Structure 1
Amino acid sequence: MDSSIPNLVTEYEEFKPSTEIDIAPGERRKFIQPNSLKDPKLDQLMTFLIDWINVTLKQDHIVVQSLEEDLFDGLVLHHLLAHLGNIKLDVEEIAVSANAQKQKLRVILDTVNQLLQITDDHNLNWSTELIHKKDLVSTLHLLVAIVKHFKPDIDLPQNVCVETLVLEIDKTGIKTVNQLEYFTGKSDDTEQDQNPEADGINDLFKLGSDKVKIVQQAILHFANKHLGRLGVVVKDLTTQFSNGVILILLIGQLEGYFIHLSEYFLNPSDYNEKLYNVTFVVELLKERGLLKHPIDPADVVNLDSKATIRILHCLFAKYKDK
């Protein structure tokens, strides 16, 4: 018998009481492990988001009690966009059928993705199907992204990380992977306390988007100058560096050595491989004393522009005159 089968059965049985497994062949789903569902930090984040939604939608007399059960049909998300961004969508107020709910969600999520300037769907932590299936992991990622975009000054509960079980069904059977999932990173105050050498990135993002764009253009020019020898052209800092490959190539060019292909995934095909690459980059920069601020590799994979600029800035600061 395959030695992984008993563990899979145990994990599934632990999961069964709290989670209805709804996964189709070829689909990949993440489920929060039962022990992590009891994590006080996760509970704090969920309570915070529920309270924030209820305060925001108080005048609409909408009361959310469960993130999974109350957001899947699109009604709450529809009202949130209307209140936070004065966004009017051409959708039904109340969608009754599953098809109508999915259509409504599709319009809402397309709008959110445009607001967040997300162009690479492969890196998204949410989708119409996942939200409609009451997927807690996707729902949390979506809400955190909405809060960060519309209310960047709100202090979300920080350093919320859970253990997840990733399930995938293919022709050979069920594949499982245990994975850490980060919803929020460390607070700026924590970063400053841990490292008194401020890199200026937090202050940069407080100055406005025009200042951020100036820095992005300078880093873009710097990266393309050194990557040009490899025939690599970067047009979008956030998306093109998110899988770690170009970061690894850039470090090799700047530091003057070749990083063997066995050390990383040259063509990462999923989230785990991208996370492995970026984690490898972070550790590499730490070893060389280049990284002055803590960086959560998941933030880079999840298209967080501040994390991406921070990791590139440490290279720019040392090699800008090279």
Structure 2
Amino acid sequence: MSVFSDERDAIQKKTFTKWVNKHLGKTGLHVEDLFVDLTDGYNLIALLEALSAEKLSRENGFTRFHRIQNVQYCLDFLKKKNIKTVNIRPEDIVEGSPKLTLGLIWTIILNFQVSVIKQRQREVSGCQGLFMSHFKD
């Protein structure tokens, strides 16, 4: 069972890293290792800013306090958006916890990517009859 879990985590890490980099590309930032590169909160802040087009607060220092505060800003932002981050503390992300980092990114994907898909579905649903009319003689 542990081998399956490790393999699943590796696949999720790779997939989530690609998704994060796709959205961070707008900012010029890049993540190599999800469990390391999110620990200071900077990339996480940049990701949420890219996804939401909103500005988040940030601490500019490099101490543990600054890293925890930056991740806390992210968790507070998600909470303000009514996005639940159950049992994820800033310290978990700062310490690079694989399970909780993957959980946080999955929560972000679900809430931001799914909202984009729903928006596109609404846009397309009003055009269903329109497409067929283009092909009639």
Query: TM-score of the superposition, structure 1-length normalised?
Result: 0.34
Deviation at 1:245, TM superposition (A): 0.8
Structure showing the higher helix proportion among its residues: 2
Per the alignment, do residues 264 and 292 of structure 1 end up closer, same or farther by CA in structure 2, a change over 3 Å counting?
A: closer
Amino acid aligned to 1:313: W
Deviation at 1:207, TM superposition (A): 4.3
Deviation at 1:248, TM superposition (A): 0.7
**Structure 1 moving runs of 4+ over 6 Å:** none
Structure showing the higher strand proportion among its residues: 1
Structure 1 distance, partners of 2:83, 2:47, is: 14
Equivalent in the alignment of 1:75 = none
2:76 aligned with 1:279, yes or no? no
Amino acid aligned to 1:289: N
Query: TM-score of the superposition, structure 2-length normalised?
Result: 0.75
Equivalent in the alignment of 2:58 = 264
2:24 aligned with 1:210, yes or no? no
Task: Give the 5 Å matches for 1:159-198.
Answer: none
Deviation at 1:320, TM superposition (A): 3.0
Structure 1 distance, partners of 2:40, 2:29, is: 15
Kept in 1, the 8 Å contact 2:41–2:70? The answer is yes
2:35 aligned with 1:238, yes or no? yes
Amino acid aligned to 1:300: I
Deviation at 1:208, TM superposition (A): 1.4
SS in 1 for 2:54: coil
Alpha-carbon deviations, 1:152-209, whole Å to 9, x = none?
Answer: xxxxxxxxxxxxxxxxxxxxxxxxxxxxxxxxxxxxxxxxxxxxxxxxxxxxx89411
SS in 2 for 1:228: helix
Alpha-carbon deviations, 1:258-313, whole Å to 9, x = none?
Answer: 33xxx2114x3111110111111111111111124121111111111112111111
Kept in 2, the 8 Å contact 1:224–1:233? The answer is yes
Task: Give the 5 Å matches for 1:1-322.
Answer: 207-259=4-56, 263-266=57-60, 268-320=61-113, 322=116
Larger Rg: 1
Per the alignment, do residues 206 and 244 of structure 1 end up closer, same or farther by CA in structure 2, a change over 3 Å counting?
A: farther
Deviation at 1:226, TM superposition (A): 0.7
Alpha-carbon deviations, 1:47-99, whole Å to 9, x = none?
Answer: xxxxxxxxxxxxxxxxxxxxxxxxxxxxxxxxxxxxxxxxxxxxxxxxxxxxx
Cα RMSD over matched residues? 1.8
SS in 1 for 2:83: coil
Q: Structure 1 regions of 5+ residues with no counterpart? A: 1-204
Amino acid aligned to 1:310: G
Kept in 2, the 8 Å contact 1:222–1:320? The answer is no
Paired residues in the alignment total 114
Percent identity, aligned pairs only? Answer: 22
Structure 2 distance, partners of 1:290, 1:211, is: 24
Deviation at 1:215, TM superposition (A): 1.1
Deviation at 1:232, TM superposition (A): 0.7
Q: Structure 2 regions of 5+ residues with no counterpart? A: 117-137
Structure 1 distance, partners of 2:113, 2:16, is: 9
Structure 2 distance, partners of 1:244, 1:285, is: 14
Deviation at 1:318, TM superposition (A): 2.0
